[in-house]
Structure 1
Amino acid sequence: MKRINRDLKEEIRDYWSKRSETFDLAFGHAIAAGPELDAWAAAVKQALGPQPRRVLELACGTGEVTGVLLGLGHEVTALDFSEAMLTVARRKHAGHKKVRFILADAESTMEDEASYEAIICRHLVWTLTEPEQAFSDWRRILRPGGLLLIFDGDWARPTLMGRAASLVIHVIDLLVGADPHHGGMSDRHAAIMAQLPFGGGLTTKRLVPMLADAGFADIELSSQWTIAVAQRKHATLRNKLRTLIYRRFILSCRKSGEAAGSLRPHVDRRHG
């Protein structure tokens, strides 16, 4: 199994590396200035509080969430295991003194124990090949009271509304042509997804017990509805519909056995 996972990791790395230069052109990846950026900043600030923190961003990709964190004044270590993605992110934030980019594996970071006040990731957890190992490592490198903040979703199973939205998107594609930036390398993506532990769907019902077993507590869930609403403000009809397809969530939790202090997350149990 370990060898299979290593081979799969290399396939995942190669897939994202090949998408690095055009990744931000796909709807939902770049964070547009204005309402969408404001919604992301509000969600992060609600979880981390108003004070600057030492934050590890896992799977930073092209550096979009990195920009949100830097805009809020945090000191950021942005990690990714694709050098091609990091090249784009470094270019985007060239000269910024509060960010450090490192090439490393998000499932085994090799960072020092208790070295971060917060860890944040967007659309990473569903790609993990060994989630239990990853969660253990993330807890290890958090400081007492440190937060883990996850933005992710169930990308395998559309909601009922999402299935209807997908049908309308299909009709639009037939009428005006497919979006060249959406669903890049879809066959390869599907082949990778089929081999992942969360390939059948990342649900909070599965994720919450795993995080608790790894030593996280005060687990709070909310939806990404405010972000989706902001994305729709200046989107095309096709992209507005895309915000309805999957159930996306925000999960925050803290290292258990420690006083959370001012880093305790805001309680919001709404979950879409």
Structure 2
Amino acid sequence: MRPNATLRDDIRDYWSARAASFDAAPGHGIATQTERVAWQRLLTRHLGIGHSRKAMDLACGTGEMAGVLCDLGYDVTALDWSEAMLDIACTKAIKSGREIAFRQADAEVTMEPDASHEVLLARHLVWTLVDPAAAFSEWRRILRPGGRLLIVDGDFVAAGWPSRLLHWIAGWMAPSSAPSQSRDLTEQHRSILERVHFKNGARAEAVAALLRSAGFTDIIVDRRLGSINRAIGRHAGILHGIKRQTQHRYAISAMRPFQ
């Protein structure tokens, strides 16, 4: 086993190498206004409208969700450890006229002040965490009392037979138009997945239990992601949309208690 610092470096380098093609993969970039509205509805359901409240997008990638938060009226800071991802996210924000502050830092060790944000968002981050218990404690620390965390994630490892079958059918009928990974990147991804905490899949129940242990309360597991999946499916193809529906995907919201 390599030390955790090396694993975190590998994770950063992998996503930096993926940055240029990241948005082309279905579910990464927001491809249509219908999908954007579906994301807005999910965030509003759990976090409410911004009203200039301070929000942080953890591991923001190319800044898609930071843009959604900004459009909902939040005062947004977007954090990522990959300089390549941040460059793309910053360019998007400038072109769209969105005012978003960017920070380069590890989402597991944010270096943010105590109680500095009222909302935290983590999309497709938890499954890659090296030490989720420590990360959740860190996120609780930087949330204000009464602030909310929203996680959007899934088990992308232990796919059930319907998802595997649909993946095979989709590949046979219509190879993906998204850029394929090189052999080196595929091997790097496999190596990372073998070493992260959720190497066997990030199930909602396990994530919720760790949040509870970290001191979060009012934990809600929400699997009503159908409108997002359908919007992505209409753009990426019906089989991809059905595949998403069969996967273990979820949103989890949690609150930092006042005491």
TM-score, scaled to structure 2 = 0.92
How far apart are 1:199 and its partner, in Å? 1.2
CA RMSD of aligned residues (A): 1.8
Is 1:30 equivalent to 2:29 in the alignment?
Answer: yes
How far apart are 1:226 and its partner, in Å? 2.2
- 3-state DSSP of counterpart to 1:105: coil
2:41 is aligned to 42
User: Conserved in 1, the CA contact under 8 Å of 2:233 and 2:239?
Assistant: no
Mapped to 2, the partners of 1:183 and 1:154 lie a distance apart of: 20
Mapped to 1, the partners of 2:246 and 2:12 lie a distance apart of: 26
Shift in CA distance, 178/233, structure 1 to aligned 2, threshold 3 Å: closer
- 3-state DSSP of counterpart to 2:108: coil
Is 1:181 equivalent to 2:179 in the alignment?
Answer: yes
User: Conserved in 2, the CA contact under 8 Å of 1:165 and 1:244?
Assistant: no
Mapped to 1, the partners of 2:150 and 2:196 lie a distance apart of: 21
How far apart are 1:244 and its partner, in Å? 3.6
Mapped to 2, the partners of 1:34 and 1:179 lie a distance apart of: 20
Whichever structure has more helix as a proportion of its residues is 2
Worse overlay, 103-112 or 233-242 = 233-242
1:14 is aligned to 13
1:211 is aligned to 211
Segments of structure 1 that go 5 or more residues without pairing to the other structure are 259-272
- 3-state DSSP of counterpart to 1:196: coil
CA displacement 1:32-79 (0-9 Å, x = unmatched): 232111100000111111242210110000011011111111110100
TM-score, scaled to structure 1 = 0.87
Shift in CA distance, 183/43, structure 1 to aligned 2, threshold 3 Å: farther
Mapped to 1, the partners of 2:88 and 2:61 lie a distance apart of: 8
- 3-state DSSP of counterpart to 1:77: strand
User: Conserved in 1, the CA contact under 8 Å of 2:119 and 2:147?
Assistant: yes
**What is the number of equivalent residue pairs in this alignment?**
254
Segments of structure 2 that go 5 or more residues without pairing to the other structure are none
Mapped to 1, the partners of 2:126 and 2:171 lie a distance apart of: 28
How far apart are 1:177 and its partner, in Å? 4.4
Is 1:228 equivalent to 2:229 in the alignment?
Answer: yes
Is 1:115 equivalent to 2:113 in the alignment?
Answer: no
User: Conserved in 1, the CA contact under 8 Å of 2:217 and 2:256?
Assistant: yes
- 3-state DSSP of counterpart to 2:111: coil
